[in-house]
Amino acid sequence: MLNELVSELKSHGVNIVKVVDISMLSENEKRGYPVAILIGVALSPSYIYRLSKENIFDCSEFSEKEKAVDQLAEWTANFIVAKGYKAYAQSERNLSNGFFDVDTKTTPLPHKKIAMLAGLGWIGKSNLLITQEYGSALCMCSVLTNAPLRTENKPIIESMCGECNICKNICPAKVIHGTKWRVNSNRDLIVDVYHCEACLKCLANCLWTQKYMRNYDSK
């Protein structure tokens, strides 16, 4: 089933599919499901280039891919249910029915946490997931399931932000505090999400995102 699923998702433009065991998490986080599937779609290098070099405010591709990855997660949940198992897509639409806390802007099990269990990356000083391959140029969604899928958990990667403060310095709203993330860090000590302007400058200018953009350009 997993091979069929991955092959279908890749044919729809998905860059990353990771399956992790979440049975060790709290009941509040896993909500009765032992497995999580992380789905990631990369933003294009040309979009990153425009965002970072042309000083524009343009959420078009980001919004489009966030919507697409949500739809793919819902499609994945339906695919698994059709095979006789339970599955729940953590799409924005589903989470808004009681699992997204509007006051704290949190969900019980963020996609980023699933990505970290898969060893995909760390939380940057921007509070975004940073991967070595795509930087933070990834739109993600996830599916919780009881399907007996092969899981592949990896050790948590510690922050590789080092002394970099690009995101902090470029943030027009000055909401990034420059705090290096550690496991169990308090989000509010890293970024003031309540005053973020969603301009994507931290995402596009992160040195790891820029590395992804340059790698693609040089191919």
Size of the site for ligand SF4 (CB under 6 A): 25
The single residue among 21, 164, 177, 216 that binds ligand SF4, judged by CB under 6 A, is 164
**For residues 207 and 211, what is the distance between their CA atoms, to the nearest angstrom?**
6
The single residue among 130, 138, 140, 144 that binds ligand SF4, judged by CB under 6 A, is 130
**For residues 151 and 82, what is the distance between their CA atoms, to the nearest angstrom?**
20
Interacting span for ligand SF4 (CB under 6 A) from 5-13, 67-75, 109-117, 173-181: 173-181
Nearer to ligand SF4, 12 or 174 (CB): 174
Nearer to ligand SF4, 114 or 175 (CB): 175
* Strand runs labelled E in 14-127: 16-21, 35-42, 87-89, 121-123
Residue labelled with tokens 């339970």: 86
DSSP class of residue 16 equals E
Assess 171 for contact with ligand SF4 (CB under 6 A).
yes
Residues 190-219: x where in contact with ligand SF4 by CB under 6 A, - otherwise, as a string: -x----xxxxxxx---xxx-----------
Assess 175 for contact with ligand SF4 (CB under 6 A).
yes
Q: How far is the CB of 50 from ligand SF4 (least distance, A)?
A: 16
- What are the backbone angles phi and psi of residue 24, rounded to the nearest 5°? -85, -10
Assess 166 for contact with ligand SF4 (CB under 6 A).
yes
212 SS3 class = helix
DSSP class of residue 153 equals -
**For residues 100 and 92, what is the distance between their CA atoms, to the nearest angstrom?**
8
Nearer to ligand SF4, 40 or 124 (CB): 124
For residue 3, the number of C-alpha atoms closer than 13 Å in the C-beta half-sphere is 0
Assess 51 for contact with ligand SF4 (CB under 6 A).
no
CA torsion angle 76 18 168 208 (round to 10)? -120
Assess 124 for contact with ligand SF4 (CB under 6 A).
yes
Assess 48 for contact with ligand SF4 (CB under 6 A).
no
Q: Which residues bind ligand SF4 (CB under 6 A)?
A: 124-126, 130, 161, 164-167, 171-173, 175-176, 191, 196-202, 206-208
